[in-house]
Chains A and B, each alone.
Chain A
Amino acid sequence: MASGRGIREKGWYRALIHPGESFRSSEVYRSAIRHPKPETPRGRALTSFQSFFLHIYPVQVPRKVLSFRSTLRLGFIGSVLFIILFVSGMYLMFFYHPAVPEAYFDMHTLSTQVAFGQFVRNIHRWAAHLMVLVVCVHLMRVFYAGAYKEPRQFNWVIGVLLLLLTLFMSFTGDLLPWDQLAFWAITVGTNIAGYVPMLGDHARQILLGGTDVGAPALLRFYVLHIYFVPALMVVLICIHIWRVRKDGFAIADRENEDAHAEETVDA
């Protein structure tokens, strides 16, 4: 009996019988995840404080925001789509050369020879369409909710910028398959840039790297699509969400306003 109790206290016995508990009490785990289990109010608050990824959230949220109807989760869905595009886009980059005519042949290789190639390309395309749609609806919801009012005016401006960048991402990505659909959509689209007053043809030439949509345009669109614009968007999305966290959810202000109104009526 005494020896049995002795075995239970041994490190290897605990590691074998309670591997999860043993792992959580190890020095490696405790140094990486520094908050207690999120079972108590203190544990839940510390979880938010001490996790880098949760830092983007406030520690507490207004109860009203828990209902789906409060925000329709459109901004969040947009971020999720952005992450889906980030991950699927990286996979596509493994099999793609931004050159004429390799780009087009790569698309064929992707759909016939690469494991999940067609599937990942489909994911990337539908997520991109959905993101444009979701971001537009997000803008409309925020407008009709009046959530751009003081002190949130500038976050609206950042949001509009993000909408334009989303459109630009979709537009630059459109050219990359280098098929007839891509070529003529971008030709039609960039012709408009030629009408910019003063700059006119210069604006178009800077965008295309030449007078027409060709190999230099493909390379420019590629670099903008996979490097510059996404990097800019990550920064802007972070500022956008950070400002929501700092200003609080607009819906919480309203509840206070309503409470104030009731108070004054009561008085």
Chain B
Amino acid sequence: MPDTEPEGRYRLLGVVPREAQQRETQEPDDTVFTWPHFLIRHAVVAGATVAVVFLLAILFNAPLKDMANPSQTPPVAKAPWYFAGLQELLSHYQPMVAGILMPGAAVLFLFALPYLDRAKGWRIRDRKMIVVVFTVLALAALVLTLIGTLFRGPEWSWVWPWKHLYVEL
């Protein structure tokens, strides 16, 4: 009750070891128990993820075409969407370059990235070099994938997505 106690008067409440007093002031406790604080958040995210997947599964059916027939080439033979960028690359350069060297170099770069980045500090301004290289690569992959997925039609010709969409997910 500080109100009733006049200022400047102190009472001895107890004697504690010096280090116990110090420890309290040195490390402010900015952690919380995983159970329940973190787990409840994970439970909510897990529920939301399941809900999104169920909603998609209710709204859209997985496609099923005619039975596989090696002698009948479809008008549009597209790789799965995550490889459509690679396929787009293959339509520009010879297979050795676009199919092996370029994706191979990109994957090697990704693996070695933490060891290539010699900059100290984690902030973006501390490591501009690697951020620029990574961003250029990521943008290139994104643009190629979008072109391959949305803008390509029969015989890999350019088709505007609002004219016709050749996408099968």
Contacts and interface: CB of A to CB of B under 8 A. Distances in A.
Interface of A: 38, 41, 44-45, 47-48, 54, 57-66, 68, 73, 76-77, 80-81, 84, 100-101, 104, 107-108, 111, 118-119, 121-127, 129-130, 132, 139-140, 143-150, 152-154, 156-157, 160-161, 164, 167, 170-171, 174, 177-185, 187-189, 192, 195-197, 212-214, 250, 254-255
Contacts of B69: 180, 183
Interface residues of B, number: 68
Contact of A171 (B46, B63, B73, B83): B83
A188 B79 contact: yes
Given A73-B42, A181-B168, A212-B70, A188 B34 contact: no
B62 A130 contact: no
Contacts of B169: 125, 129
A150 B122 CA distance: 10
B129 interface: no
Contact of A126 (B56, B122, B138): B56
Interface string B11-42: 00000000000000000001111111111011
B70 A213 contact: yes
SS class, residues of chain B in contact with chain A: helix
B112 to A, nearest CB: 8
User: Which of A154, A157, A184 has the most B CB atoms < 10 Å from its CB?
Assistant: A184
A132 B82 contact: yes
Interface in B32-72: 32-39, 41-42, 45-46, 49-50, 52-54, 56-58, 60-70, 72
A65 B42 CA distance: 11
Given A145-B122, A180-B72, A119 B134 contact: no
A73 B80 contact: no
B105 interface: no
B113 interface: yes
16 contacts: A48-B35, A57-B38, A64-B30, A73-B42, A80-B46, A84-B50, A111-B64, A148-B113, A167-B83, A178-B67, A178-B68, A179-B68, A180-B69, A185-B77, A189-B83, A192-B95
B65 A119 contact: no
Please list the 6 inter-chain residue pairs (A to B) with the smallest Cβ-Cβ separation, ordered nearest first: A146-B122, A183-B68, A153-B114, A122-B57, A126-B56, A125-B62
B32 A63 contact: yes
B53 A130 contact: yes
Interface in B107-138: 107, 110-111, 113-115, 117, 121-124, 126-127, 131, 134, 138
B152 interface: no
Contact of B100 (A63, A144, A146, A197): A197
A47 B39 CA distance: 12
B150 interface: no
A195 B95 contact: yes
Contacts of A119: 57-58
A185 to B, nearest CB: 5
Contact of B99 (A123, A178, A192): A192
A127 B72 CA distance: 30
